[in-house]
Amino acid sequence: MRIAIASDHAAVELKAELREYLIELGHEVADLGPETADRVDYPDYGYLLAAVIADGTAERGVALCGSGIGISIAVNRNPACRAALVSEPLSAALAREHNDANVLAMGAVLPFVYTPMPIEHLGLLGAMAAMGLIGGLLSIAAYRLAPAVIVAPMQYSQMLWAVFYGWLFFSESLDFNTALGSAVIIASGIYIVLREGTPAVSTNRPVLENRSRFDTGMQPRIGSWLRLVERRGSSE
């Protein structure tokens, strides 16, 4: 396969390594430059690469610069080119298979300028994870100690906290639709709590306490299984 490769001054060394690698694989490689690390403008070499793709001199292209972003934009200005910025084999394969990319663009220096997360940020992430775990455990304990109809509405206070934190940290304001919807949901939760907390409010038992409810036919209910087991035990 005829492959053209071009870069700017920041990716000259990477270009040379890729050129030799492609030649070893049996491809015909056209190195469009530059030859030295003297400063050049990446659009010039991006346009040159795009031109040889467009006129059929090369079937595929490899475009390199410091980040890969700039030269990929330059190449894509030519309608005949579909340059995809990739950083690992999977994205390169998907770009070719699903997007019909004919030029791959890569960055030469980004892997060397990666800044690891500061230790204090890792500590904050750990604190967030711990708080989430504690909150989940407390929610489980609450559902064990109280009926779900009482505990669940209490979670509606999350909306109030979200509004408060949005105002405190992100300068967000509460719009009318959000306020109205929150009020309806919270009022419904309070109504459920008051209704379930009032004795003898209805002659109907809650659904969860009634095991004689008719099956829907979609899936077996636990009451049906229990009756089946009881009948088998009595017959034995």
Distance CA 120, CA 57 (A): 53
The residue from 27, 65, 81, 121 that is catalytic is 65
How does strand 103-107 pair with strand 83-85? parallel
The string of DSSP codes covering the chain is -EEEEEE-GGGHHHHHHHHHHHHHTT-EEEE----S-S---HHHHHHHHHHHHHTTS-SEEEEEESSSHHHHHHHHTSTT--EEE-SSHHHHHHHHHHH---EEEEESSGGGS--PPPHHHHHHHHHHHHHHHHHHHHHHHHHHHS-HHHHHHHTTHHHHHHHHHHHHHH-----HHHHHHHHHHHHHHHHHHHHHHSTTS-SSPPGGG-S-PPP-SSS--HHHHHHHHHHHHHH-
The residue from 9, 27, 98, 121 that is catalytic is 98
**Would you say how long the chain is, in residues?**
236
Tell me, yes or no, if 9 is annotated catalytic: no
Q: Which amino acid would we find at residue 66?
A: G
Tell me, yes or no, if 27 is annotated catalytic: no
Catalytic residues: 65, 98
